[in-house]
Amino acid sequence: MSTPRLRDKTAIITGATGGIGEATAKMFLQEGANVMLVGRSEEKLRATRDRLAAGKRAAISVADAADEKATAAAVAATVQTFGGVDILFANAGMEGIVKNIEDVAMQDFERLLRTNVLGVWLGMKHCVAPMKKRGGGSMITVGSIASVVGFPGLGPYIASKHAVYGLTKTAAMELGGLRIRVNAIGPGPIDNRMTQSLGNQMSPDDPKGFREQFSNTIAMKRYGTNEEVASLALFLASDESSYCTGGIFMIDGGFAAA
């Protein structure tokens, strides 16, 4: 039997109640990690933990991504429960409302930036000290194709995901000497709630047609799966990616190659 790829490691997963978050938690647990599931709804976190059925290797902590106190408490709870932190999967994020630049309301833009940008920064900020104690670690942020291209109607989301990539590169440069690696994942459309919401907003009368049209702009002509994204997160979390830092790893069926 092969050695589990995350044996003796502890991971924090934000947005653990969502499609990509839960699939990643499942894979990390299968590969031997302890996992702290972080989310904003205690009820959803409990349900996720129950589905994962990993006993004491999965714990939960309630934190809004943009709440610094709650994020610091989630990191502290991880150290207390599992003895340290090796991996941060900064995955919590929202798509927001689809509107052109001239129609976006201030509070909607701010809310999205708080979750998608400040949330990622806060996770990084509070994981540095425990990772230093461990002598290294891996931070994985969730960017998007929206980190590298624009898209009409998605100004706040696009701005937030470009910012995630910028933060990732900066953190990689600051933390490389401490053996803390920082990489971004850049998913294309993934077959889950978020993409459904975007399809419904972009094309309320024909979300199916929107999906078909969008799929045709992807080299592989299909949406990806939560599990495909989780596999990439697993590679970046594990020691197999020991010389990877500061990169954005696209997982988009070739969308951004166009």
Residues known to be catalytic: 157
Closer Cβ to ligand NAP, 2 or 208, answer by number: 208
Q: How far apart are CA 143 and CA 145, in angstroms?
A: 7
Q: Which is nearer to ligand NAP, 133 or 193 (CB)?
A: 193
Q: By 3-state DSSP, what share of the chain in percent is helix, strand and coil, each rounded to 5?
A: 55, 15, 30
Residues 199-258, interacting with ligand NAP (CB under 6 A) = none
For ligand NAP, the binding residue among 58, 65, 163, 236 (CB under 6 A) is: 65
* Residue placing its CB nearer to ligand NAP in the complex, 137 or 156: 156
The phi and psi torsions of 28 (rounded to 5 degrees) equal: -60, -40
Q: Which of 10, 34, 91, 183 binds ligand NAP (CB under 6 A)?
A: 91
Tell me which residue has its CB nearest to ligand NAP.
18
In the complex, least distance from residue 104 CB atom to ligand NAP, rounded to whole angstroms: 17
CA 19 to chain centre: 10
Cβ neighbourhood burial of 28 (10 Å; 0-12, 13-18, 19+): buried
The answer to whether the CB of 42 falls within 8 A of the CB of 62 is yes
128 vs 218 by CB, closer to ligand NAP: 218
Which amino acid is located at 243 in the chain?
Answer: Y
Task: Write out the residues near ligand NAP by the rule CB under 6 A.
Answer: 15, 17-21, 39-41, 44, 64-66, 91-94, 115, 142, 144, 187, 189-190, 192-195
